[in-house]
Amino acid sequence: MASWTSWATEVTSSHRLQLGVTAVLSASLAATAVIGLQNARRLYNVHDLKDSIPDLDSPHDVEKINDFGGAVPEEIIESREDERSKALARRARLGDYDEDLIMEQLARNRVFLTDDGLAKLRKAFIIVVGCGGVGSHATAALVRSGCGRLRLIDFDQVTLSSLNRHAVATLADVGTPKVICLQKRLEHIAPWTHFDCQNQLFGANTADSQLSAWSDGQKPTFVIDAIDNIESKVALLHYCHKNKIPVISSMGAGCKSDPTRVFVGDISASTDDPLSRSTRRKLRALGVKDGIPVVFSSEKTGPGKAQLLPLPEEEFAKGQVKELGVLPDFRVRILPVLGTMPAVFGLCVANHVMLEITGYPHDYLPSKGREKMYDGILAQLQGLEERAAKFHGHDTLGLRIPLTSDDVGYLIEEVFHGRSIVSGLTTRLALTRWKKPEGAWIDTKTPGQKSDLLDFGDLVCMTKDEMLQHEKLVLQGGKAPEEVYDAKVIELRNKRRDEERNFRDQR
């Protein structure tokens, strides 16, 4: 007991020990205070956030809805930096900007394209239709490279989901029209660039005004199609082709991930892309087979790769699928998109446009040039139908089939994907009836003329040797196709027929 008392006396009288105890107590109190302050701040923030959420019956700021189903901001709030950039851009477009500074900024392009090439690009007037992932990257590249005039056309606004692939949009731009966002951000980079922003949907009925000349009469130098809606895309490409306006089109970047398989080529050479296939079909129906450069990916889908899944049954249950989209004929599903791929497509588009305008040497994949092959297949089909008519006792003099060389190209390329349904071979192809003709299949109502009532759905693609064997066994031998071919061939034929019917219904 005495030893304990003496030890306690020594401790209480130790100055150093007292300082240590005081430091420990102070640190504990400070830590407690910090933790308490953090908890209080967290509770305050949560309380503040909850208070900021209005009740369902409370008034709110978003009262206006535009024609496309999006909220219309009453005003676009600009930062001081944006205001200064806007003022600088106004002065620069009026000529109040040092030309030496512009040439210094474009120095790398200047030595690559030469003075003459850069001058052409600076005088160019380019129209970009579609300012999402692909269009924004194409626009940004053109502005950075010195393009003088840009007309931007898009009806949509920046959304949160846009930010994974848009070239310049930030969180502050969400809710802003995409065309305004591009101009605002790119004026920070090249204030001398002239913009004409049209927050509109492109359509066939507005093409004349939207693709019209600049205010001083300058006609478009080039048009960029970065639309992801089939009807608008086809309308734009057909208008440009008909009016001889240079145009390049971006096909689908959705579900793609391999940048080594992205090509610039003629639309007739684009493959393995549903958007490209649908666009080609509709353009072919309008008489446009080739002559339009496109950026496309030859990447094939496969196990484990992203793909557009079927619409869930509960969406169908809500009503007609067409009524679910923001606009008629617009998709009602979110496409899986890797943010890098639209950038690759957009930069390829801009690269091609710059080379074309400046005259820089370049090559791209040519059109397939299969017109002679289609003519040969059409002649074979004519001969096959005449033999079938003769076999069934008809006079073949003056017999005509209701197909053209373009129809043959459509069937071979778009319906049967350039392959025999029997062997999958791609050489020495032919078209033949699938079944023996029945009923009244030749129209003789017009004097001196016989019309073969042949329908697209009656035909299949085979090799020439397979076609001759098919003629012997089915068309003349009387066997049903089901007796000659296995279930896989029958299923493929029915699939191709149904696809063709669906496409014709859409046309």
The domain locations on the chain are: 80-358, 371-506
Phi-psi region of 67 (alpha: psi -120 to 50; beta: other; left: phi over 0): alpha
Q: 80-101: per-residue pLDDT in tens? A: 777 777 777 788 788 778 888 8
Residue with tokens 């998109």: 337
Digits of tens for pLDDT over the chain (507 positions)?
Answer: 555 555 455 545 566 666 665 666 666 676 676 666 666 666 655 555 445 444 444 444 434 444 443 444 545 556 677 777 777 778 878 877 888 889 999 999 999 999 999 999 999 999 999 999 999 999 999 999 999 999 999 999 999 989 999 999 999 999 999 999 999 999 999 999 999 999 999 999 999 999 999 999 999 999 999 998 888 999 999 999 999 999 999 998 888 888 888 889 888 877 667 778 888 888 988 888 888 999 988 887 767 777 665 545 554 455 444 433 444 444 445 678 888 999 999 999 999 999 999 999 887 666 566 778 999 999 999 999 889 888 888 877 878 888 888 889 888 888 898 899 999 998 899 999 999 888 778 877 777 678 888 888 899 999 999 999 999 999 998 899 999 999 999 999 999 998 888 766 554
Can you count the helices (H) and strands (E) in the chain? 17, 12
* Residue length of the chain: 507
154 token code pair: 């898009």
**Which stretches of 287-418 are assigned E, i.e. beta strand?**
293-297, 399-400
Q: For residues 357 and 224, is the Cβ–Cβ distance under 8 A?
A: no
Q: For residues 307 and 301, is the Cβ–Cβ distance under 8 A?
A: yes
Could you say which architecture CATH assigns to the domain 80-358?
3-Layer(aba) Sandwich (3.40)
Q: What are phi and psi of 450, to 5 degrees?
A: -125, 125
Q: 214-250: per-residue pLDDT in tens? A: 999 999 999 999 998 888 999 999 999 999 999 999 9
Mutual angle of helices 2-13 and 15-52, in 10-degree steps: 70
**In the prediction, which pLDDT does 74 show?**
47
**In the prediction, which pLDDT does 63 show?**
40
Q: Report the C-alpha gap between 148 and 118 in whole angstroms.
A: 10
159 token code pair: 């959304």
465 token code pair: 């040797």
- 450-452 and 399-400 as β-strands: parallel, antiparallel, unpaired? parallel
**In the prediction, which pLDDT does 323 show?**
39
Is residue 153 exposed (0-12), middle (13-18) or buried (19+ Cβ within 10 Å)?
Answer: buried
* pTM summary value: 0.65
Amino acid at 448: G
**In the prediction, which pLDDT does 485 show?**
95
Count the neighbouring beta carbons within 10 Å of the beta carbon of residue 219: 11
Q: Report the C-alpha gap between 126 and 353 in whole angstroms.
A: 9
Helix (H) or strand (E) holding 484: helix 481-484
**In the prediction, which pLDDT does 339 show?**
87
Q: Report the C-alpha gap between 234 and 204 in whole angstroms.
A: 9
Residue with tokens 């065309």: 179
Q: For residues 225 and 245, is the Cβ–Cβ distance under 8 A?
A: no
Closest residue by Cα to residue 130 from 93, 167, 184, 160: 167
Residues 209, 207, 290: CA angle, nearest 5 degrees: 140
**Torsion angle of C-alpha atoms 481, 472, 452, 450, degrees rounded to 10:** -150
Q: Is 27 helix (H, G, I), strand (E, B) or coil?
A: helix
Q: Is 94 helix (H, G, I), strand (E, B) or coil?
A: coil
Q: For residues 196 and 150, is the Cβ–Cβ distance under 8 A?
A: yes
Instruction: Give the helix ranges, DSSP H, for 187-252.
Output: 207-210, 230-242
**In the prediction, which pLDDT does 78 show?**
64
